[in-house]
Chain A
């Protein structure tokens, strides 16, 4: 864009008597543009500073300061520097580590399941043999329009004996399942998440598949590859960037897991108030009023998220390079 401007100016130069004034003019135009740019960006960056940068800074600051009551707890409370004490407290707290483990298990189970199912569905839709494709897409997308808390409510009722027609049906076949038991509660949460996001991710993959040039697919058919091989070995590698994007967002959201366990927790004792790190933060800040502990847990969750996202990007980049080198 800038090069185009300079280009036109150079062309116009010979007609002008004083080249200096043209430079002045250019500087004026540049200043006007930067001014406009500033005006357009200011509202967003005001928000960025007030509801993002300052809060992150505050969380870090809070994590290093704790409440201390001098005089055997009778004196007025005051805030003192406690260094890494809150971090040590969080990292040695078995309930926090348990929550981290829960979320890790959830992600390890949920992300591959989600990516594989959504990609498989998108490839099937893209194969061209599905009937009523537009309707199928709309139906698959529907749960995305159901708010997370409502999805959790629907599934909670479908998991509750006495209300659920699913449990009723299974009972007729002499199968009893406790969807909210010790070992089933996490898969039950995964199911809610898959239900909510499957169609949305399928459509993202489908859109990416539609953008694959038809010549590439024709070439693979000419080479004698069947539809399944074409789908797995030709189409799938070409939508890599979408796969990485979906996996990344699923990971970031997965690490924040909060709404579904909060709601299911109303009904089952298997979910305690510190079931996930986000619930731990909420519990520490608003039930126990220990801001320092909550802030330290927040910073740890943040670092964990950044490290994992960075790891995923690095890993996918490296395997992409390897793939390029192999070709």
Chain B
């Protein structure tokens, strides 16, 4: 599936914004290619601009310098080809699961019957049959995130931008969600950019892993994740897994230490 032509190309992207009187440099001259059909995980210490990059790709933010290309075309505004999955789910609390999933199609002007059918298909895909009429408040965290995934998929984006989507659910649920995500992505052939601060999560999900440097964020290392699929829990015990994990950790650790040093300097 993965072709050599990048579906997303970030070219020398810098992002600065004002916070009070000081200027925060979230991204500094970042360049990155995303291959079609891959799951690319971005790991890095908090505040390294991971989310900023996703927001730029989604079109919510405009980079201060540089540009992002989607299929060789620069991204200039909010683009429905890039579906965003937020950590806080962002399901509309006043809509049922069904209406939430139908939302994007409704915006496109798709007729009701088709909407219903498409929604049913994706609700089934994420395993939420029987909960069509439930409101988000009536669902568990894991179910909400699956509903959010279905909502995004129903809109048929080419790329899924996932911003620490499983950070708010418990460890058990998270593992299930990860398995499901890999499964669903394989079925729907989406490209995924997945931001996480869990190295384990990155190793389980990804085809490639990008380590971001601490602020200003840029690509510090890229690793091919050659662990055999499917990656069950036992994959985490193989020597190769541990080797990759320590490799990433070494890279991340430096950045975390730098980040901590920086914070201490600011406090003093």
Question: Is this pair of chains taken from one and the same complex?
Answer: no
The chain A residues found within 8 Å of chain B, CB to CB, are none
Residues of B whose CB lies within 8 Å of any CB of A are none
